[in-house]
């Protein structure tokens, strides 16, 4: 087992399955629009229907975002600087927030509170699109996994780029599969940290709303 696999396993070994955990079905790794058609259709969407994503849609989305595409080597669909794999994805829905355990493809419930309102156009009150869309994915950087960077600004720089790759994977998966999405700098990091129970070294950086287009 390599260092990343050990770190990831250690992270989840203590996470006892609780009632709210969701085992996702295996992701589909074929199908969808050809890459050039997905590129031609890629766009930001801010109008979503309230219809939830199915477990299959979520599984396909998360795998495309940052799943293992070379499981034997524990490598993923998105690259990371020095292969640190320091970004965790939290899935926020009306019924709570979940850490995606990509090894087991399980959503581990961390709260039953709806945190979607800490993302998106918060100045627009109940017109904030993030409240209508079924899923807000929150990107959390683990600075412990980033600690090879001697200067904090380097760790931050690489973390932002690493989030961007995952974000573009989601944009392309969305356009390939007919979903809508918007990448979000507009988040409330302190409120999200508190609600997700994050330790000091884990910091929400960005979010991404995903749903069916209205
Ligand atoms: C780093 C980054 C942060 C963004 N933050 C927000 C945001 O907070 N709210 C929002 O509505 N759109 C946000 N966007 C989406 C951009 O506004 C959008 O990509 C841009 O208008 C271009 O539109 P397009 O994606 O359809 O090409 C963000 C995009 C990026 C790359």
**How much distance in Å is there from the Cα of 37 to the middle of ligand 1?**
21
Nearest CA to ligand 1 atom 22: 44
DSSP assignment, residue 152? H
Q: In a structure prediction context, what are the per-residue pLDDT tens digits for the chain, which is 214 residues long? A: 344 444 443 344 334 455 799 999 999 999 999 999 999 999 999 999 999 999 999 999 999 999 999 999 999 999 999 999 999 999 999 999 999 999 999 999 999 999 999 999 888 898 999 999 999 999 999 999 877 666 878 889 999 999 999 999 999 999 999 999 999 999 999 999 999 999 999 999 999 999 999 9
**How much distance in Å is there from the Cα of 163 to the middle of ligand 1?**
13
For residue 90, which phi and psi values (nearest 5 degrees)?
-105, 130
Identify the sign of the CA torsion 197, 203, 206, 212.
negative
pLDDT at 128: 93
Which mutation among 184, 206, 209 tests ligand 1's pocket best, with the greatest number of atoms within 8 A of CB?
Answer: 184
Ligand 1: residues with CB < 6 A are 43-44, 46, 182-186
pLDDT at 197: 98
Identify the sign of the CA torsion 155, 190, 52, 21.
positive
């Amino acid at each position: 087992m390599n260092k990343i696999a050990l770190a990831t396993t250690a992270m989840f070994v203590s996470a006892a399955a609780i009632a709210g955990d969701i085992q996702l079905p295996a992701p589909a790794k074929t199908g969808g629009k050809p890459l050039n058609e997905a590129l031609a259709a890629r766009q930001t969407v801010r109008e979503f229907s309230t219809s939830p994503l199915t477990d299959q849609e979520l599984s396909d989305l998360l795998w495309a975002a940052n799943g293992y595409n070379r499981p034997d080597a524990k490598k993923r669909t998105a690259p990371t600087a020095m292969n640190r794999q320091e970004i965790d994805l939290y899935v926020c829905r009306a019924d709570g927030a979940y850490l995606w355990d990509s090894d087991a493809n399980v959503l581990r419930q961390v709260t039953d509170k709806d945190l979607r309102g800490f993302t998106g156009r918060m100045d627009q009150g109940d017109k904030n699109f993030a409240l209508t869309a079924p899923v807000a994915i929150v990107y959390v950087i683990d600075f412990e996994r980033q600690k090879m960077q001697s200067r904090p600004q380097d760790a931050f720089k690489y973390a932002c780029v690493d989030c961007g790759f995952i974000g573009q994977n989601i944009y392309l998966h969305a356009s390939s599969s007919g979903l809508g999405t918007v990448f979000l700098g507009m988040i409330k990091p302190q409120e999200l940290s508190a609600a997700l129970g994050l330790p000091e070294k884990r910091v929400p950086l960005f979010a991404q709303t995903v749903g069916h287009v209205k």
